[in-house]
Chain A
Amino acid sequence: MKVAYWPGCVSRGFTPELHGSMAKVAPLLDIELVELDRACCTGAGVIAEHNQELADTLNARTFALAQRVEGAEMMMNICSTCQGAQSECQQRLDANAEYRTHVNSTLAAEGLSYEKGLTNKNFLWLLVEEIGLDSLRSRVTRPLANLRVGPFYGCYIVRPRERLGIDQEHPRDGYLHQVIEALGGTVIDYAGMRKCCGFPIITMNKEASLKQAGRHLGDAVDAEADCLVTPCPLCHLNLDLQQPLAETAVGRSLDMPILHLPQLVGLALGLDPKDLGLNRHVVRPTSVIDWSASVVAAAA
C-alpha cells in the first residue's frame, strides 16, 4: 500500500535509526513510503501551547500536502508524539467547518487546502489494522522466540482514547502487545508501560523527568524484560539517550535496551541488527543482538 509518510523531526535528528529502520522494513511489508519532505514539525503540543491556531494551521498544511499525494491510501507517521499532536489539531479542524475554512484561508496563500476526514495512522496502527497480524506473522522469518519484550506505549498514542479512536473494535492501546506476540516474542507486562517517559519536562524539572524514566525502566528490569519497544522517538530519547542519567536519578543500574518499533519488526523479518541501526543506541541492545546471533546460528 502507498502512504503519505510523515517521519517527524526526531527520527531524522537524534534517532536517525528510526527513520532508517522504517525505510528498510517498509518494502518487506509492501508499504510504499512517499515522504512528506515539505511538511514542518507538528509542534509536539508545545506550539499548540504557545498558539493553538498556529499549530492547527501548520498541521493542516501537512494534512493538505498528504492529501495531494497521488494514490496514497492514508497518511502514516512513526512518532507517537506526532500522532497525538496531529490528532488534536485534526479533531478541531474536522469538528468545525467554519474554523476549517478560516485555517484554509491562511493555507490559500500556498494554494493548499485541507479537506475534512484525512486518515492518519501511526505505523503501529497501520501494522495491525491495514497489514494485519496474520499477514505480519506470515512474513516473520526469524521469530522472536525466547525474547522477553516489554511494550512501552507512552502517552500520546493511548490518551485521550476518544480522540485517538480507541474502542472495543480498535483496542489500539493493546496493539504493541499483539505485534510482539505476532512476531513470536513474549510480552512482559510491567507497571509503567502506559505511563509517561518524562521527556516533556526534561528541561523544566529534570529530576522528576529522569525519575519517571528510571522508575519505568526499573519496573521492566524487575519484570525481567530483555528489552522494551516503543512507537515514540521522544520516549526513546528519555529511556535510551538519558538512561545513564536516569540510573543516577533512581540510584540503580538499569541497562535496559530500548528498540524502536520498526527495529523490532525488522529483526523478526530477518534484517541485520546493524542495518536497523541497533548499534546506534546509547544502551547496547546486547540481549537482542545475542538473541539474533543465536537464532541465526540455530537456523544455520
Chain B
Amino acid sequence: MAETHDRPPEQFTIRLRRYDPGSGEAAYWDEHTVELEPHRSVLEAILQARDRFDGSIGIRCSCRQAICGSCGVRVNGEPSLACHTHLDAAKQGADGGVIEIEPMGNMPVIKDLIVDMDAVHWKKIQRVTPWLLAKQPVPEREYLVSRESMVDVTQTMACIQCGACVSDCLAMEVDPGFIGPAALAKAYRFVGDPRDDQHFARLNDLAQDPQGIFDCTHCFKCVEACPKDVNPMGQIMRLRRVATADFHIVDRNNGERHEAAFAGLVKDNGLLWEAELLPRSYGGNSWFGKFHPAAAKEMLSSLPAILRALVRGKVTPMGALKPHKIPSADLKAVQGIYEKVDGREDRYELNLYVVGEDEEGPQAEGAPAAATAGATATTEHDGQAPAAPESPEGSADT
C-alpha cells in the first residue's frame, strides 16, 4: 500500500456528462485534465475540476469514504461510488484512457451528475414500509431475538442507499413502476426480522403488485452494481421463496404458478417441458392447467409466435405434446432428491455473504455444525421467529 501511496501525481483526463434541464440546452460532454496521485478517487478528480476550472459542475458528495452513499455516478458506464473508485483503476477501464463520468440511470437528472433520488429511489423505499411493524405487546425493554435471525438480515442492512442498483436495473428500464432492487432488499430486511408482525401482509402486498417481487428479470445487474455486496436480487429471490413456500401466496402475476410448474415439470420429467410450462404458469400446475381460461387467453395472444414456429418446423406438434424425459432409473433418483430435500420441513440455505469461503483443504467429515454459522434453516415462516441454524444434516436438536 505504502508503495502505491508514494506514487507522484499524474494527469488524468475526465469526461463529464453535463446537463442543466432548466437551461433549455441539450446535454453535452465536458473534458478536464486534473493532476492527482493515482490512488486518489474519481470524486477527488471531479472536485478538483470544479475547484480549478468550472465552479458550475454539479456533483453531490459528503463523507468521501463510501459510507454516506451520496456520490453514486456511472464511471465508464458502470454504476460506482465516485469516492470509492480509484483513478488508476478507472483509467485502466476507460476507452482511450479518458475516464467517462455520467449521472446514474433510471432517475431524472437535476443537474450534471446529480440525479433526483427523491423522485425514484426514496419513493420506492417508502413503498415497502421501511420500518418495523412490531409484534404486540412491545416488550418494556429490548426484544430478545436469536443472534442467527439477525445475522440473516445483516446483508440487507449493509445498504447505504446510494441508488447504484436502481441506476442499472434492467426491469426498471422498461417498466419504471417496478419497485426495484433497493426497495425490495429493504423489504427483506423486515420480512426476515422476527420482531416484525406483518410478514404475510408485506409479502402478499409485494407478490400481488404487478410491479413487485415477480417483476424482477433476474439479470444480476444490481448484484454487480452494489458497492456493499447487498445482493439485492438474491434478497428478491428470498422474498419469493418465503412468499410461495412458507406463506403459500398465490399471486395474480403467475409468479407462484410459474415456480410450481417449473419445479413440478422437472420432477415429473427430469427435463423442462417448455410447451407445458407456459399454459401451466397461467392455468395452474397440472395437465389440466392449459384448459384454464387464463391459459387459453394467453395461448391465443401467443398465436402469432406459435403458428410461425409450427410453420417453420421449429416446434413440431408431437414435440410440443410429448415431454422429453431422462431415463427412468435417473428420473427415479431425481424424484428421490425432490422427496428428501423438498419434502423436508426446514429449508437449508447457505449464504456465502455470512459464511464466507472455506480455507483451502477439505474439512474433516463430521466437523461441528457450528462451522456453518450463517446457514439458515428456515422453518415454516408463520410470523414466528425463524429457527436457529441447525446442523446441515437437518436434525432439529442441534
Contact = CB atoms under 8 A, between A and B. Distances in A.
Interface in A5-42: 9-10, 12-17, 37-41
A28 to B, nearest CB: 24
Interface string B307-348: 011001111000100001011001001101110111000011
B341 A53 contact: yes
Interface stretch (B34-42, B139-147, B152-160, B217-225): B217-225
Interface stretch (A70-78, A118-126, A239-247): A239-247
A198 B217 contact: yes
B174 A95 contact: no
A46 B259 contact: yes
Interface in A202-233: 203-209, 211-212, 215
A39 B326 contact: yes
Given A53-B348, A57-B341, A203-B281, A159 B274 contact: no
A5 to B, nearest CB: 15
Interface in A114-136: 116
B330 A38 contact: yes
A8 to B, nearest CB: 9
B217 A47 contact: no
B174 A54 contact: no
Contacts of B281: 203
Contacts of B313: 279-280
A234 B316 CA distance: 18
A290 interface: no
Given A12-B324, A161-B224, A281-B314, A46 B170 contact: no
Given A48-B237, A53-B349, A280 B324 contact: no
Given A50-B263, A280-B314, A281-B314, A159 B223 contact: yes
Interface in A41-70: 41, 43-54, 56-58, 61
A37 B348 CA distance: 29
A174 interface: no
Contact of A245 (B211, B278, B304, B326): B304
Interface stretch (A101-109, A140-148, A179-187, A259-267): A101-109
B240 A49 contact: yes
A110 interface: yes
Nearest to A240: B314
B175 interface: yes
A160 interface: yes
A40 B312 contact: no
Interface in B204-235: 210-211, 214-221, 223-224
A201 B314 contact: no
Interface residues of B, number: 84
A171 to B, nearest CB: 11
A92 B375 CA distance: 11
Nearest to B375: A99
B244 A50 contact: yes
B254 interface: yes
Contact of B352 (A39, A91, A207): A91
A167 interface: no
A138 interface: no
Given A95-B357, A205-B253, A58 B337 contact: yes
A98 interface: yes
Interface of A: 9-10, 12-17, 37-41, 43-54, 56-58, 61, 84, 91-92, 95-99, 101-102, 105-107, 109-110, 116, 155-156, 159-161, 195-196, 198, 200-201, 203-209, 211-212, 215, 241-245, 279-282, 284
Given A47-B263, A51-B342, 4 more contacts: A9-B271, A58-B337, A101-B365, A159-B219
Closest 6 CB pairs of A and B: A159-B220, A102-B392, A9-B272, A196-B219, A203-B281, A97-B363
